């Protein structure tokens, strides 16, 4: 997690770095800090809490900082044209001012920011302390700062020419001593105009500007300034100056990144008049689905993936599918299982990525592992993917973030074109992940000759109707908001569903937990009688996700019985059902109709009221909807 920005150019760095941090704040908001190189000095500021706290402190700083003895003044932090900034999701050391990044060393002349975990930090710290280094934080990052300052001093003492390259040489030496996952950025007061970065198992992209260059955890930090970016490889060091980008591996051998163009625009990452990013992103779902479907059907009626390093024969050889993902993406995988097995008849298992490799799954060349991730950086999913590749399985990624690690390490990719998702709680990413899963199921069915082109086209046509159905649903969503305010004080909210409604129930409960900090649980409706029904008390709200009666009638009838059972025990039933489904009316204390949708595609509509419900309850309880406590958008630690 943690958001990282670096800038080298001709403009004042501070504003650019702060703007970038604002866009990256979703990655962590325990503290924020900046370091700017200015006329041979390093000026830093850092503060616990959200970026706003840092901005307040910066605003209170005099325009010209009185510094450096003799009562002399130097230009202020707002003037320097080289800078780095960090927004933190705490791992080592609590979320305090002293643990905020940047961490400085070498008499305050070197500043380092870091994302990830340096696993051998205890050993390094002991070594440094034995050499007399004094630490001023509890972080693992500070080791890297002292190591870098030490390397720079050693290189200078050895007569190495000073300048940007010295920073890169020193950083490479440091990286060779670090274990774990890290993105590091550093500046040195004596090397103005240069920022050095390094990455291992943690994200870092380069933004290529004109007379200026950027480094960031993801492209949203710099899309306002440039849409040209460079994807870095694993174990690389990158040095940026105003006019140059130099990439090497950790040993110093020249390396190259992969250039790409970012097709999001800056306004896509702004709130656009909504109170919260989450509301904006919920409203963007029709477009996000339409965009994800765009151009997927070739002239021959075949489904096109984005980057396919798998042949049709590889896909025909698949005899087992594992879907690996976390959180909301895992729920998308659960829905996918129903569709993929139904359409392809290939056995499909869904696994929590964090559990996958530890249970030693049976994988071989004919196993297809589908890794679903919005960010493309989730460490649990990345590790599951790597385990799958070690076992020779083929990996296909579903991802929303171009240039991120998961798609880069996969054999094939289908990008969800959801645009930037800023709110920590995933909404449009979930719906677009569902669409991507349907497309993959159809592609597999077609390649294996189980579905004809016209059958595939028929499902794609149903998918293409979904944006309008969602618009219709969102236009009538106000009653869900009212209901949210009504149940905001409930101690527990339960969610039940069957078939594809089961993962929807889990997703509804997850949203409520993470946003409203309420006890919420999702169940397969049939499981209630095996225990959870004991949770139902007088007035307990239970959200019931009802399948279409036009799909599998038996399924519909079963859940109607389940609703009666819980109502008889005092539950306040909130029923999500298809328009025209009158069978549920007598048992619904609140009835929320969604547009008619084919059974397997129903989660695309039934999830939406649950997203709105959670968002509104959280707002009514006074919580920060976009940045819920203890969470971060991109979870780059295991
Ligand atoms: C919940 C949520 C998380 C993510 C999970 C995986 O609203 O957003 O559960 O779905 O952390 O993240 P990605 O999709 O980036 O791998």
Q: Which ligand 1 atom is the nearest neighbour of the CA of 375?
A: 15
544 lines ligand 1 (CB under 6 A): no
- CA 38 to CA 462: how far, in whole Å? 58
Q: How far is the first Cα of the chain from the last one, in angstroms, to the nearest whole number?
A: 11
Q: Which ligand 1 atom is the nearest neighbour of the CA of 406?
A: 16
Instruction: With CA atoms as reference, report the closest residue to 566 among 527, 532, 536.
Output: 536
**320 given a catalytic annotation:** no
CA separation, residue 162 to residues 85, 194, 340 (Å): 24, 12, 59
Taking residues 493-518, what's their average pLDDT?
97
Taking residues 599-606, what's their average pLDDT?
97
Angle, helices 501-516/603-620, rounded to nearest 10 degrees: 20
427 lines ligand 1 (CB under 6 A): no
Give helix then strand counts, H and E, for the chain: 19, 25
Q: Residue 77 above 90 pLDDT?
A: no
- CA 199 to CA 232: how far, in whole Å? 8
Question: Architecture of domain 277-464 in CATH?
Answer: 3-Layer(aba) Sandwich (3.40)
- CA 497 to CA 522: how far, in whole Å? 8
Lowest mean pLDDT among 72-81, 92-101, 321-330, 529-538: 72-81
372 CA → ligand 1 middle, Å: 9
Q: Return the percentage of the chain with pLDDT > 70, whole number.
A: 96
* Segments of the chain assigned to CATH 3.40.50.10490: 277-464, 478-620
Nearest-CA residue for atom 5 of ligand 1 = 327
* Segments of the chain assigned to CATH 3.60.20.10: 3-269
Angle, helices 453-464/466-475, rounded to nearest 10 degrees: 20
Q: Residue 91 above 80 pLDDT?
A: no
Instruction: With CA atoms as reference, report the closest residue to 346 among 372, 366, 325, 361.
Output: 366
The string of pLDDT tens digits covering residues 196-253 is 999 998 889 999 999 999 999 988 899 999 999 999 998 999 999 999 999 999 999 9
Count of CB atoms situated within 10 Å of the CB of 113: 31
User: How many angstroms from the chain centroid is the CA of residue 516?
Assistant: 20
Q: Residue 635 above 90 pLDDT?
A: no
pTM over 0.75: yes
Provide CATH code, domain 3-269.
Answer: 3.60.20.10
**2 given a catalytic annotation:** yes
pLDDT at 268: 67
Spatial CB neighbours of 279, under 8 Å, sequence gap ≥ 6: 615, 625
Question: Architecture of domain 478-620 in CATH?
Answer: 3-Layer(aba) Sandwich (3.40)
611 lines ligand 1 (CB under 6 A): no
CB–CB of 549/501 below 8 Å? no
- CA 556 to CA 548: how far, in whole Å? 7
For residue 380, give the H/E element and its range: helix 379-390
CB–CB of 517/489 below 8 Å? no
CA separation, residue 268 to residues 287, 331, 415, 418, 526 (Å): 12, 26, 17, 10, 42
- CA 55 to CA 64: how far, in whole Å? 16
Q: Residue 499 above 70 pLDDT?
A: yes
Confidence grade of residue 296 (pLDDT, cut at 50, 70, 90): confident
For residue 82, give the H/E element and its range: strand 82-88
CA separation, residue 10 to residues 335, 411, 414, 475, 483 (Å): 50, 40, 38, 47, 53
**Three-state secondary-structure class, residue 347:** coil
The secondary structure of residue 327, as a DSSP letter, is H
CB–CB of 507/430 below 8 Å? yes
Instruction: With CA atoms as reference, report the closest residue to 629 among 106, 8, 22, 30.
Output: 30
The helix, strand and coil proportions of the chain, stated in percent and rounded to the nearest 5, come to: 40, 25, 35
- CA 57 to CA 516: how far, in whole Å? 30
515 lines ligand 1 (CB under 6 A): no
Cis, peptide link before residue 27, omega less than 30° from 0: no
């Amino acid at each position: 997690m943690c958001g990282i920005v670096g800038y080298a150019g001709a403009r004042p760095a501070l504003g650019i770095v702060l703007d970038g941090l604002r866009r990256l704040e979703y990655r962590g908001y325990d503290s924020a800090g900046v370091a700017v190189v200015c006329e041979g000095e390093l000026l830093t500021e850092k503060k616990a809490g959200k970026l706003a706290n840092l901005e307040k402190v910066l605003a209170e700083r005099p325009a010209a900082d009185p510094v450096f003895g003799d009562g002399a003044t130097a230009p202020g932090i707002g003037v320097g044209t080289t800078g780095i900034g960090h927004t933190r999701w705490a791992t080592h050391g609590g979320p305090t001012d002293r643990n905020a990044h940047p961490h400085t060393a070498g008499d305050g002349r070197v500043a380092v920011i870091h994302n990830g975990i340096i696993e051998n930090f205890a050993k390094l710290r002991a070594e440094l302390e034995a050499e007399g280094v004094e630490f001023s934080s509890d972080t693992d990052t500070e080791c890297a700062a002292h190591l870098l300052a030490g390397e720079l001093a050693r290189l200078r003492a050895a007569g190495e020419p000073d300048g940007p390259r010295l920073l890169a040489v020193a950083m490479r030496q440091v990286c060779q001593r670090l274990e774990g996952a890290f993105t590091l950025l550093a500046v040195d007061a004596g090397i103005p105009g240069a920022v050095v970065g390094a990455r291992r198992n943690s994200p870092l992209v380069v933004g290529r500007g004109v007379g200026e260059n950027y480094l960031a955890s993801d492209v949203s930090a710099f899309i306002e300034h440039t849409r040209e970016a460079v994807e870095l490889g694993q174990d690389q060091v990158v040095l940026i100056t105003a006019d140059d980008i130099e990439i090497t591996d950790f040993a110093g051998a020249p390396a190259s990144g992969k250039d790409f163009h970012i097709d999001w625009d800056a306004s896509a990452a702004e709130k656009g008049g909504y109170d919260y990013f989450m509301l904006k992103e919920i409203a963007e779902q029709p477009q996000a689905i339409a965009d994800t479907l765009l151009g997927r059907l070739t002239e021959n009626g075949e489904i096109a993936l984005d980057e396919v390093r798998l042949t049709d024969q590889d896909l025909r050889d698949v005899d087992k599918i594992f879907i690996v993902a976390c959180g909301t993406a895992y729920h998308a995988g659960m829905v996918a299982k129903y569709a993929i097995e139904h359409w392809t008849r290939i056995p499909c298992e869904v696994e929590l990525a964090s559990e996958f490799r530890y249970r030693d799954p049976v994988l071989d060349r004919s196993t297809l592992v589908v890794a679903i991730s919005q960010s493309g950086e989730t460490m649990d999913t990345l590790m599951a993917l790597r385990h799958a590749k070690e076992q020779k399985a083929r990996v296909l990624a579903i991802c929303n973030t171009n240039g991120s690690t998961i798609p880069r390490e996969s054999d094939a990719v289908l990008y969800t074109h959801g645009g930037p998702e800023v709110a920590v709680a995933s909404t449009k990413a979930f719906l677009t992940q569902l669409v991507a899963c349907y497309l993959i199921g159809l592609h597999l069915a077609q390649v294996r000759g189980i579905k004809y082109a016209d059958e595939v086209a028929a499902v794609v046509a149903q998918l293409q109707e979904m944006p309008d159905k969602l618009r219709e649903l969102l236009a009538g969503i106000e009653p869900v908001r009212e209901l949210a305010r009504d149940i905001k004080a409930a101690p527990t909210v339960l969610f039940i569903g069957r078939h594809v409604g089961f993962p929807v129930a889990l997703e509804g409960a997850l949203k409520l937990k993470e946003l409203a900090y309420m006890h919420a649980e999702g169940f397969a409706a049939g499981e209630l009688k095996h225990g959870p029904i004991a949770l139902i008390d007088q007035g307990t709200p239970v959200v019931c996700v009802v399948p279409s009666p036009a799909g599998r009638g038996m399924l519909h009838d079963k859940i109607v019985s389940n609703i009666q059972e819980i109502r008889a025990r005092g539950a306040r039933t909130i029923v999500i059902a298809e328009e025209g489904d009158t069978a549920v009316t007598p048992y619904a204390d609140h009835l929320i109709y969604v547009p008619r949708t084919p059974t397997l595609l129903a989660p695309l509509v039934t999830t939406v009221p649950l997203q709105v419900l959670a968002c509104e309850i959280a707002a009514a309880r006074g919580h920060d909807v976009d940045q819920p406590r203890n969470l971060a958008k991109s979870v780059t630690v295991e």
